[in-house]
Amino acid sequence: MKVRSLKLREAHNVAATSSSNNGRGSFCSVLWDQQALHLVTASSADPSISIHDPLLPSSAPKILRHHRDGVTALAISPNSTCLASGSVDHSVKLYKFPAGEFETNITRFTLPIRALAFNRSGSMLAAAGDDEGIKLINTIDGSIARVLKGHKGSVTGLAFDPNSEYLASVDSTGTVIYWELHSGRTLHTLKGIAPDTGSDLSVMNVVSWSPDGETLAVPGLRNDVVMYDRDTAEKLFSLRGDHIQPICFVSWSPNGKYLATSGLDRQVLIWDVDRKQDIDRHKFDDKICCMTWKPIGNALAVIDVKGKYGVWESVVPPSMKSPTEDVPNLQSKNSNGLLLFDEEEQDLSASGSLSDLGEDSHGESEPPGRKRLRKQSASEENLDEDGCNEWSLHPKVESCKKVKRIHKESLNNTNEELRSITSAWQKMQEAFQPGATPVQPGKKRFLCYNMVGCVTTIEHDGYSHIEIDFHDTGRGPRVPAMTDHFGFTMAALNENGSVFANPCKGEKNMSTVMYRPFSTWANNSEWSMRLEGEEVKVVALGTAWVAAITSSNFLRIFTESGVQKHVISLDGPVVTASGLKDELAIVTHASACLPPNDQMLEFRVINIRNGTQHLRGRLPLTPGSHLTWFGFSEEGQLSYYDSKGVLRVFTSQYGGSWLPLFSASKEKSNENYWVVGLNESKLFCIVCKNLDLFPQVMPKPVLSLLNLSFPLASSDLGAEALENEFMLNNMHLSQIQKRMEEMAGAGLDTTSLDDEAFSVEAAQDRCILRLIASCCNGDKLVRATELVKLLSMEKSVKGAIKLVTALKLPNLAERFNRILEERILNEAKGTKETTLSYSMADGPIMANVAISNNSSSAETSKTSEAEIPLSSPKLTAPLFVKKAKSRDGVKVGMKKTEHHHTPVLDDFGKEKNIEEAKNAWEVRKIVGTSQILPNCSSNPVVNASNKQDVKKVGENQGQPQRPSNPFMKARIK
């Protein structure tokens, strides 16, 4: 085979450190983005990162200078929007790509970083190095999902399998470990199967999964590459060719048909994996320490230990299949079981972006690795048997292989089902504190941000500095800053105090809860509790109580002074919680997720003072979303916001339902809304530009107010705003009605709510009148007739009659007139029935009242009883009747009895005679009396001569009976 040569360009000057590494050079990295528009390079001898334009190699690269020491590792997210870098300075940084804008220090180690890797969805970043542990980092919020410990040496290579079920890692001593991601446990440990790199920092042991996820490639001990099975870690076969020194790097082509290997002999070989033959090679001046295949086309980018890079074009001969042809399709997992956040799935086009199409290959009758195993020649099998002492952990016993093969094939039918179950558990959302932002080393972050104020913290020299600020400085007390030696990561805040908690720390694995009141009569009223082997996940705060929910699924309730009052077991792992006054609302997992990544959550609301649970049910999320905020509105309505941008509020309607009151999809597409709270008409949030998921503390974020609105269908009237107002008013009336019932049941005065209800009813009538006008203009007369029945006040119905008359719709005006007549007759009938029921129940009292009236009014009363109609169809009526209106009605009735020829309903041309007017007045008067007297239990007999006193009692104590609004389907008792 002809040895070819390739000219390399200098990307990084590593001469300064070559001598410190005994002239071996430095480890350098190179990678493509998924569109093949940029090449990124770095060197452990250079603190800068270079982004090159491969189409214009002579142009100057974009330089990123954020590390203080050499860059030892690079990784780019599958959708090429995020670049991660690890350094000798112990930090891992994230950048926006390709802009190169620095985002955050996502984590920090105590020793240099050596390896980084994103999972297939880009939702998790694995980082490792000279420290003993591998950190799995949620890229959404920067939290550490898990730390995997098991290696004895520096971890130099990491690789997520394409199905995001396993992580493979290798260290400098040549040990490879398979990790199960959802549990964090070690599946297989293969000791000493890769070369020991010793103190040579210019090369790193690596591992690499094939694109179909069935095979793991590891550099071998005999200048070869060894392939291991995905599930059993059994050796399948090896590729051994013209390398005369150990292999130091491997890279699969996008379709998995070819493999590139570089060795300490300065050669790069290209292998046809199916044929187990090398098909081409390059000889370089220095060792190639990193390689990556071009996602589009037939090319391979390389970089050597001197910091020189180049692109090898036409790697695979034109007569053979292209390395980007027939790229395997895999069912991508959105989450690997530890990152519990939802990501948008994208299709893999020819440009090489993230793919989620297709299915796992485990449903095939036989995995590709097994097919290749049977193709091994007898000479290769003999060679493996000769060297079996080097593979003592994996003896090549043919009978054992057959048994394993049969066993594996027998599991193929159920394997996919088991994996789907495992994946469902993997995607369960982790607990979060409402209003908290992720840890950002070196930056301030919010421990809590709500409608009362905010709690911020910043780490400095091993401890944190915590500040508490109130939005309304005139209301809340001035709270001095505090020094945090516990490392608190969550907090809850209200007007009376704040509670803090941290994850498990120290040798005893202890978690701490601390409460800090803002005002107290005694000194040293601050208290703390420590939980050994039990981690606090969420904290909440209310009136005179503190709650902490832990990893043991315990709800721990403390009093404000620190008394441990209750310990309650919950049904599942907690997701979040929130408190308001006496109520604590908790969200837990009800079961595993449903495909595709639908969270199954349950909520419950507990009254801490009474020790009761008055609400419980499922939490309906938008499909494929997760919970991002949970709490109470200013009026006390339970609410939550999900990652798809939908806000829902709980209502007692329909036996308890969640109403969608906001959808971010109708707002600006380039903004994300970080929810703080809400009231009856507005959503309070911080607008994050460029789709950032959370705000920064500095500069101080600005609260934005967004209107609540139902996600209504496009109306044929073009009056979506009016229809939305109509539905919101109905919801508010329902909430007021519920609160009035609760206050009346507790014996409290409901006057303030009564006035609020009439204000909402008046606004609703105005809205309905505008909707009626729209219906008339759109020729929707049946809809207009239905709407007029929903009007609460008689004057509103008369206004509707005038409106349709002005629009020259006489037939509709006549229908509206009949509706008004029927409503008045129904009111009269209902009034008489109420009067008769009171008369039956309170006979002696009614007799005394009759005696107290003069003879003329008594005769009028008899006449009215004889002439009230006894049957008519039931119609609508207002939900709330204002007390002032009852008194006005009395005055109007008296006036009308004096003028025999005054028309009662002159608005629509119908006149009532004086007898009908008398009937209406007498009925109102009797009802007024009958409602007054039952309330006067202390004086059962009313003095007939003191009518003024009776009237006063009616004004002060009488509660007029309020018939129900038909839209609300409920009745105020």
Q: How far apart are CA 608 and CA 763, in angstroms?
A: 37
950 to 751, 855, 943, 962: CA distances (angstroms): 21, 18, 8, 21
Q: What is the bridge-based pairing of β-strands 671-678 and 445-449?
A: unpaired
Give which of 883, 962, 960, 963 is closest to 928, Cα–Cα.
Answer: 960
Q: How far apart are CA 662 and CA 311, in angstroms?
A: 51
* Domains, the chain, ordered by start: 9-313 (2.130.10.10), 444-707 (2.130.10.10), 719-828 (no CATH)
The list of the chain residues with pLDDT below 50 reads 1-2, 19, 332-411, 413-425, 843-973
Q: What is the pLDDT of residues 597-642, one digit of tens each?
A: 788 999 999 999 999 998 999 999 998 899 999 999 998 999 999 9
Give which of 155, 125, 149, 506 is closest to 338, Cα–Cα.
Answer: 125
- Encoded tokens for 257: 């048909």
Query: Would you call the peptide bond into 596 cis, given omega within 30 degrees of 0 as the criterion?
Result: yes
| Cβ 822 vs Cβ 872: under 8 Å | yes
Q: Say which residue the tokens 């990307």 belong to.
A: 11
Query: For residues 424-461, b (16+ Cβ closer than 10 Å) or e, as one string?
Result: bebbbbbbbbbbbbbbbbeeebbbbbbbbbbbbbbbee
Give which of 254, 268, 173, 176 is closest to 218, Cα–Cα.
Answer: 176
Q: How far apart are CA 401 and CA 193, in angstroms?
A: 20
| Cβ 45 vs Cβ 17: under 8 Å | yes
End-to-end CA distance of the chain: 96
pLDDT of amino acid 351 = 34
> Quick check: helix, strand or coil at residue 758?
helix
29's CB contacts (< 8 A; 6+ apart) are: 40, 41, 42, 43, 71, 72, 73, 74, 290, 303
pLDDT of amino acid 935 = 39
402 exposure class (CB count in 10 Å sphere: 0-12, 13-18, 19+): exposed
Q: Helices 781-788 and 794-806 meet at what angle, rounded to 10?
A: 160
The DSSP line for 270-338 is EEETTTTEEEEEEE-SS-EEEEEE-SSSSEEEEEETTSEEEEEE--S-TTS--TTTTPPP----S--SS
- Encoded tokens for 156: 């130099």
CA 388 to chain centroid, in Å, comes to 52
The one-letter amino acid at 335 = S
Q: How far apart are CA 962 and CA 931, in angstroms?
A: 12
| Cβ 100 vs Cβ 64: under 8 Å | yes
Give which of 793, 693, 851, 746 is closest to 138, Cα–Cα.
Answer: 693
| Cβ 178 vs Cβ 151: under 8 Å | no
pLDDT of amino acid 5 = 61
pLDDT of amino acid 887 = 37
Give which of 559, 430, 444, 574 is closest to 499, Cα–Cα.
Answer: 559
| Cβ 78 vs Cβ 355: under 8 Å | no
Beta strands in 581-699 (DSSP E): 583-589, 601-607, 612-619, 627-632, 638-642, 646-651, 657-663, 671-678, 682-689
> Quick check: helix, strand or coil at residue 542?
strand
Give which of 98, 92, 53, 95 is closest to 72, Cα–Cα.
Answer: 92
| Cβ 537 vs Cβ 549: under 8 Å | yes
pLDDT of amino acid 834 = 65
Q: How far apart are CA 181 and CA 340, in angstroms?
A: 12
> Quick check: helix, strand or coil at residue 752?
helix
Q: How far apart are CA 917 and CA 654, in angstroms?
A: 41
Q: How far apart are CA 206 and CA 75, in angstroms?
A: 14
Q: How far apart are CA 408 and CA 601, in angstroms?
A: 35
Q: Say which residue the tokens 């301030």 belong to.
A: 444
- Encoded tokens for 251: 């890279």
Please give the radius of gyration of the chain, using alpha carbons only, rounded to the nearest integer.
Answer: 38
pLDDT of amino acid 944 = 39
Q: How far apart are CA 318 and CA 325, in angstroms?
A: 12
pLDDT of amino acid 961 = 42
- Encoded tokens for 104: 């955050």
Q: What is the pLDDT of residues 122-135, one digit of tens each?
A: 889 999 999 889 99
Sign of the torsion formed by the C-alpha atoms of 164, 170, 171 and 177: positive
| Cβ 666 vs Cβ 714: under 8 Å | no
φ and ψ of 837, to 5 deg: -65, -40
Give which of 512, 511, 471, 510 is closest to 493, Cα–Cα.
Answer: 471
| Cβ 504 vs Cβ 511: under 8 Å | yes
pLDDT of amino acid 482 = 87
pLDDT of amino acid 436 = 93
The DSSP line for 453-465 is EEEEEEEETTEEE
Q: What is the pLDDT of residues 910-963, one digit of tens each?
A: 343 444 444 444 434 433 433 333 333 334 333 433 444 434 334 444 444 444
951's enclosing H/E stretch is helix 947-957
303's CB contacts (< 8 A; 6+ apart) are: 8, 11, 28, 29, 30, 41, 288, 289, 290, 291, 309, 310
The DSSP line for 670-729 is TEEEEEEEE-SSEEEEEEEETT-SS--SSSPP-EEEEE----PPPPTTS-HHHHHHHHHH
